[in-house]
Amino acid sequence: MKITVIEDILKANDAIAADNQKIFESKKLYVINLLSSPGAGKTTLLERTIETLHPGYRIGVIEGDIQTTLDAERISKFGIPVVQINTQGGCHLEANMIKKALDNLDLNSMDLLIIENIGNLVCPSNFKLGEVDKVTILSVPEGEEKPLKYPAMFRESTALIINKIDLISFTNFNITNAIKYSLSINPSLKIFEISCTTREGLDRWINWLKARVENYRSGIA
């Protein structure tokens, strides 16, 4: 009974996600669904990415939070379009929330839309939003075994960012194991080792992202 209800909810969500996807495709707009535990560094990665790419690339952001507009305030400082979604307790974004948010965004003047999901390593993986790629962040203090313990998110992502590598020497985090575990869940995962604090490794992420935007626009991705 309960499972049927959840399946119905997921099916309804997938239908709206497919509609969103068609809209994005028609605009040749590359869209990322950005995922992680709370505090792994989604908003900080967004800040580093925007300050590097803006205004050469026209970026829009949808900020998902349970409460507060703290993250949207951080992003709006860059003078780019931002829409805040507050789920009021909800543990993940759903496609219909994105659909409504699109009313407040001019997709025609955008090369890249990043949707920052709720900080939650479990539930958001079940709900497609219409994105081209899921990108998951694993932060060093969370521990190397997280891909084994929370596999769904890692399985469905195109790219994994291992963030806060500046903290490795203060923890028992073994990055070789983290990469090995992640690839055991998803062998095609593109992995970036970065620190948003020291900016180490950010170049590779930015170059990959630029290539994804360009390839998607030209129909290759």
> What are the Cα distances from residue 170, in Å, to 141, 173, 176?
9, 9, 16
- Find the shortest distance in angstroms from Cβ 70 to a second copy: 6
Among 80, 91, 107, 221, binds a second copy (CB under 8 A): 91
Nearer to a second copy, 52 or 197 (CB): 197
- Find the shortest distance in angstroms from Cβ 92 to a second copy: 8
Nearer to a second copy, 106 or 145 (CB): 145
CA distance 79 to 48: 14
- Find the shortest distance in angstroms from Cβ 60 to a second copy: 22
Contact between 137 and 167 (Cβ < 8 Å): no
Helices (H), the chain: 2-26, 42-53, 70-76, 95-101, 146-149, 151-156, 175-185, 202-217
Among 122, 180, 200, 203, binds a second copy (CB under 8 A): 122
Q: Which two tokens stand for residue 84?
A: 């805040």
How many residues bind a second copy (CB under 8 A)? The answer is: 36
Contact between 42 and 119 (Cβ < 8 Å): yes
Nearer to a second copy, 122 or 211 (CB): 122
Residues 47-86 that bind a second copy (CB under 8 A): 65-68, 70
> What are the Cα distances from residue 194, in Å, to 84, 85, 118, 152, 197?
26, 28, 21, 22, 9
- Find the shortest distance in angstroms from Cβ 36 to a second copy: 9
Region of 76-84, 106-114, 159-167, 209-217 interacting with a second copy (CB under 8 A): 159-167
- Any contact of residue 164 with a second copy (CB under 8 A)? yes
Residues 125-154 that bind a second copy (CB under 8 A): 139-143, 145-146, 148-152
- Find the shortest distance in angstroms from Cβ 65 to a second copy: 6
Helix axes 202-217, 42-53, angle to 10 degrees: 70
CA distance 20 to 49: 24
Among 107, 167, 175, 221, binds a second copy (CB under 8 A): 167
Among 20, 33, 37, 182, binds a second copy (CB under 8 A): 37
- Find the shortest distance in angstroms from Cβ 18 to a second copy: 20
Burial of 140 (0-12, 13-18, 19+ CB in 10 A): buried
- Any contact of residue 118 with a second copy (CB under 8 A)? yes
